[in-house]
Amino acid sequence: MQSKPQAKYLKDYSAPSHTVSNFELDVELHPTDTKVTARASYKANNAETVLTLDGVELELESVKVNGQPYSDYVQDQTRLTISNLPEKFTLEIENRISPSTNTSLEGLYLSEGAYCTQCEAEGFRKITYFLDRPDVLTDYLVTITAEKNIPYLLSNGNKVAEGTLPDGRHFAKWQDPHKKPSYLFALVAGDFDVQKDTFTTKNGREVSLEIFVDKGNLNKTPHAMASLKNAMKWDETRFNLEYDLDIYMIVAVDFFNMGAMENKGLNVFNSACVLANQQTATDRDYHTIESIVGHEYFHNWTGNRVTCRDWFQLSLKEGLTVFRDQEFSSDLGSRALNRIDAVMAMRTHQFAEDAGPMAHPIRPEKVIEMNNFYTVTVYNKGAEVIRMMHTLLGEANFQKGMKLYFERHDGQAVTCDDFVAAMSDASGKCLEQFKRWYSQYGTPTIKVLTNYNVEDETFTISLEQVHAACDPILQPLHIPFAIELLDENGCTLPLILDGKQVQSVLELKEFKSEFTFENIKSQPTPVLLENFSAPCIVEYDYQMDELIHILKHASSDFTRWEVAQRAFTKEIKQAVLSLTNTGSVNLSEHLIAALKSILNEVETDKALISELIRLPNFDTVSAEFKQIPVAELVEVYKQFEQQIATQLCPELKKAYSESHEMGEISSYAVAARSLKSTALFYLAKVSDDEVSKWLNENSKSENMTLKLAALKAAKSANHTLSEQLINEFDANWRHDPLVMDKWFALQATTDNDEAIQLIKSLYAHPCFDKGNPNRVRALVGQFARSNPAQFHRIDGKGYELLADLLIELNHINPQNASRMVTPFMSWKRYDEQRQALIKAQLQRIAEINNLSDDLFEKVDKALNA
């Protein structure tokens, strides 16, 4: 490995040396030679005479101080250090950059001919020299100049001037009335189609809404626009927060490293998170678009108006904004289904991260490359931490806390502690111990024992918090632990402690706690960690009949899903153990009977039924094993899916036939399609004429949810129709790379000896492009995540495929490479042979020339943590 990049530490935070005002940025666009001029007034905060600015890959032209050429500076790879400065001065810097060769998709780059920027976290320094840190807020006046064939020139705030220059080029000038940190700066220039609408705020201000998309895509913008208006309305109703500019713009671009970016007044979106119509997008895509449009809009207050003091505080804005977008989706749609999604994301991805070498608290303390910390921990566990505060305080007090937070900190760059202080002060609830959630990593396990005492008619629950590998620095957490007790009829029992009825949320503060509930007439069945009230693992030895009792009677849809998952997991684990002896394994009759009766429930939301009958995903189950038995798990899944298909065939067929949807996006139609898709997934495994007919019909559907469901079902079952359907899809959709991502993802799940060769050959597909993160994630990301049989091949070819790609991506797009390395991070969880194979690939990566900081940080941790 080469010399180590330097880490930064939270404990080393110091306030900025200077304040900046009157920032003017002139950008003269050219694909390979864009000229950037930055002018600003600087004032030293503590009589410093040296100013150190961040700047990366910039060609410096000139430096002027107070209008005069200045040469007392030194430059290195990442900084410009200017010395002997007065206390107050103006600084003008000219530099040049090359957007067309910027494949990192950070800073200013070209996406299919459109100029766009991505500055969070530290991309602004790739545009000009600046104090590129979130606690330096300033006002921006931006002038963009370009050729006339680039009609739209956009930046943050309001357009204050535009015109044509003597040389025939044109310009636009934008002023942002709100001070902001550099990471919220945006510039977009290109030729687009624009969808326009308006929103009138609760105080009667009319806001122009504009969505910019590639030409010809206007028929795919209505859903994003509707989502934006819903988000604006919802934030007024639920959080009393109103939009603060006269214009809100969203630009969809094809080359983008993540979902979207909340730049003030000018969001830039991955086109996959904007464009949708029934022919091209699935119901899941519709949901994702709604939640991301909401998320970026909600950042306007939680992130932009009040921002982060430093990047260690990222969860201040991200955890809170994810919580807000989850609430938005839950208020607009099904609360239970949204909770299922959120919990699934935690168990599938976050628990794994928290148990691996990249484990970090939601407020990390040490960072090499900040982009590596836009993680499920900071985002999703961060949102769970906010949700726990919401649970402990209740909605009314939580809203009081939000109000106080904005009263205190509007226009400031603050810390997670400031947020918790506002919550605590507004509600009177002590959150001192609770704050440990911000500094402790790892998923706590809660070991539960229960005891029913017939004579006393009491039921005792003993709980023990166990922290990551008993790390002695980890202290007991303040955990809201919600429970419910069901009697033998499935009715909820009142919870009586010391003669008083109590709420369902128990507050755990010690390593060990015990609660004895009174007046319990017969052995109850406990529902533990209801609604996933804390991001923990519950260890409790449920018997199958208890799980089925809860599954039948629980009033909460979420709880029913939770126990169905537990029941499946229990059986999968047992099957893995018995597989070695018998070769074949069976789902228990109890569970099959329970699934039958679920499929016959007429009153239940079809979308919930669809979730209840699905096996927990591979990663969730893997987390249950110290060493992941890959091959055995793959085999158990195959056999169980086949059994569900065979034994529930009549019920699945009935469910399929009775799920009517009219091609609309009402929640009823979405639910019907969801159940249809799940039923079809199983049914394809009992290939008969009726099922073949359904597969054929759906593959020809004008509705992408149904079309894709047919393809997935056929592919997974290795159905005779599979190849034909896949070829048809390719032929029909080659003109639309976003749609082809679904096809690449499907191809990535191929489970046969040709899989590796197939994926490699798809690199040459006309729609594929290694520089486009969507394509790479669809094909190779999906392969590594969702094709355990082939990725974990014992000949190591799956690992080699991923490592080859990472080595290429290291030069093209380090951020994307670093994201894609995740499947290697948990290498120590596999058997010795596989460990050796992955380790060899990690070492190969570690030794390449010019290893990016992004990959270095993760590979180094994987190998040496």
Residues annotated as part of the active site = 296
CB of 227 to ligand B3K, least distance (A): 14
Please, what is the minimum distance in Å from the beta carbon of residue 865 to ligand B3K? 22
Position 530 contacts ligand B3K (CB under 6 A) = no
Binding mask 80-119 for ligand B3K (x = CB under 6 A): ----------------------------------------
Of 14-22, 213-221, 257-265, 670-678, the segment contacting ligand B3K by CB under 6 A is 257-265
Nearer Cβ to Zn ion (316/680): 316
Residue range at the interface with ligand B3K (CB under 6 A); choices 294-302, 423-431, 513-521, 703-711: 294-302
Smallest separation, CB 379 to Zn ion (Å): 7
Residue 817 in contact with ligand B3K, rule: CB under 6 A: no
Q: Which stretch binds ligand B3K (CB under 6 A): 256-264, 552-560, 650-658, 698-706?
A: 256-264
- The answer to whether 526 and 568 are in contact (CB under 8 A) is no
Tell which one of 26, 120, 285, 557 touches ligand B3K (CB under 6 A): 120
**CB of 779 vs ligand B3K, minimal distance in Å:** 22
- Residue 566 pairs in a beta bridge with none
Half-sphere exposure in the Cβ direction for 370 (13 Å, CA): 19
User: Of 121, 187, 706, 762, which one interacts with ligand B3K (CB under 6 A)?
Assistant: 121
Q: Is 180 in the site for ligand B3K (CB under 6 A)?
A: no
* 316 lies in the site for ligand B3K, by CB under 6 A: no
Q: Are 506 and 482 in contact (CB under 8 A)?
A: yes
Place of tokens 């009977």: 593
Q: What are phi and psi of 285, to 5 degrees?
A: -60, -40
Q: Is the peptide bond before 121 cis (omega within 30 degrees of 0)?
A: yes
Q: Which is nearer to ligand B3K, 375 or 787 (CB)?
A: 375
User: Should residue 295 be labelled a site residue for ligand B3K when binding is judged by CB under 6 A?
Assistant: yes
Judging by beta carbons within 10 Å of its beta carbon (0-12, 13-18, 19+), is residue 380 exposed, middle or buried?
Answer: buried
Q: How far is the CB of 808 from Zn ion (least distance, A)?
A: 29
Q: How many residues bind ligand B3K (CB under 6 A)?
A: 12
With contacts defined by CB under 6 A, name the span among 26-34, 291-299, 465-473, 765-773 that binds ligand B3K: 291-299
Q: Which of 781, 703, 714 lies closest to 741 in space, CA to CA?
A: 781
CA 768 to chain centre: 24
Looking at 296, 384, 557, 857, which residue binds ligand B3K (CB under 6 A)? 296
Q: Judged by CB, which is closer to Zn ion: 308, or 855?
A: 308
Least distance CB 260 / ligand B3K (angstroms): 6
Q: Sheet of 193-200: strands edge to edge?
A: 193-200, 206-213, 247-253, 266-270, 260-261
Identify the CA nearest to 238 among candidates 296, 304, 294.
294
Interface with ligand B3K (CB under 6 A), residue from 132, 176, 285, 318: 318
3-state helix, strand, coil split of the chain in percent (to 5) is 45, 20, 35
Nearest approach, Cβ of 119 to ligand B3K (angstroms)?
9
What is the rounded radius of gyration, in angstroms, for the C-alpha atoms of the chain?
Answer: 28
As a whole number of angstroms, the distance between CA 387 and CA 76 comes to 44
**CA neighbor of 321 nearest in space, from 293, 279, 353:** 293
Q: Determine, following the binding rule CB under 6 A, whether residue 262 of this chain makes contact with ligand B3K.
A: yes
Identity of the residue, 374 or 542, whose beta carbon is nearer to ligand B3K in the bound complex: 374
DSSP label at 820? H
Instruction: Give the binding range for ligand B3K (CB under 6 A) out of 206-214, 259-267, 520-528, 573-581.
Output: 259-267
Minimum distance between the CB of residue 268 and ligand B3K, rounded to whole angstroms? 10
Nearer to ligand B3K, 715 or 858 (CB): 858
* CB nearer Zn ion, residue 263 or residue 424: 263
**Helix or strand run (H / E) with residue 619:** helix 618-622
Q: Binding segment for ligand B3K among 62-70, 171-179, 253-261, 465-473 (CB under 6 A)? A: 253-261
**Side chain identity, residue 405:** Y
CB of 110 to Zn ion, least distance (A): 25
- Residue 54 binds which entry of Zn ion, ligand B3K, none, CB below 5-8 Å type-dependent: none
- Rounded CA separation 296/462 (Å): 42
Residue 614 in tokens: 């699905």
Nearest to 713 by CA among 743, 683, 733, 740: 683
Q: Are 143 and 187 in contact (CB under 8 A)?
A: no
Find the part of the chain contacting ligand B3K (CB under 6 A) among 293-301, 327-335, 543-551, 727-735: 293-301
Site string for ligand B3K, 158-177 (x = CB under 6 A): --------------------
- Which 354-393 positions form the footprint of ligand B3K (CB under 6 A)? 371, 374
- What residues contact 812, with CB distance under 8 A and at least 6 apart? 103, 104, 770, 771
Buried b vs exposed e over 328-338: b needs ≥16 C-beta within 10 Å? Answer: bbbebbbbbbb
Residue 327: CB minimum distance to ligand B3K, A: 16
Nearer to ligand B3K by Cβ, of 249 and 474: the residue is 249
**What contacts 446, CB < 8 A, 6 or more positions away?**
463, 464, 465, 466, 479, 481, 508, 528, 529, 536, 537, 538, 539
54 scored as a contact of ligand B3K (CB under 6 A) = no
Nearest-approach distance from CB 157 to ligand B3K, in angstroms: 19
* 258 touching ligand B3K, by CB under 6 A: yes
Of 135 and 425, which has the nearer Cβ to ligand B3K?
A: 135
For ligand B3K, the closer CB: 176 or 641: 176
**Contact yes or no for 233/293 (Cβ under 8 A):** no
Nearer to ligand B3K, 259 or 442 (CB): 259
Q: Do the Cβ atoms of 113 and 85 come closer than 8 Å?
A: no
Which of 265, 535, 490 has the alpha carbon at shortest distance from 376?
535
Q: Point out which span in 255-263, 353-361, 460-468, 743-751 binds ligand B3K (CB under 6 A).
A: 255-263
Q: In the complex with Zn ion, which residue's Cβ is closer, 294 or 781?
A: 294
Candidate ranges 135-143, 260-268, 360-368, 587-595; the one touching ligand B3K (CB under 6 A)? 260-268
Residue 682 sits in the site that holds ligand B3K (CB under 6 A): no
Does 132 participate in binding ligand B3K (rule CB under 6 A)? no
Strand partners, 454: none
H or E stretch including 117?
strand 114-118
Torsion of CA 649, 655, 750, 770, to 10 degrees: 180
Separation in Å, CA 832 to CA 597, 827, 842: 43, 10, 15
Which of ligand B3K, Zn ion, none binds 261 (CB below 5-8 Å, type-dependent)? ligand B3K
- C-beta of 279: minimal distance to ligand B3K in Å? 28
| Residue 363 or 829 having the CB closest to Zn ion | 363
Task: Report yes or no: 614 and 709 within 8 Å, Cβ to Cβ.
Answer: no
Selected binder of ligand B3K within 261, 547, 680, 851 (CB under 6 A): 261
Write out the residues near Zn ion by the rule CB under 5 A: 318, 321
CA 723 to the chain's CA centroid:
32
Residues that bind ligand B3K (CB under 6 A): 120-121, 258, 260-262, 295-296, 299, 318, 371, 374
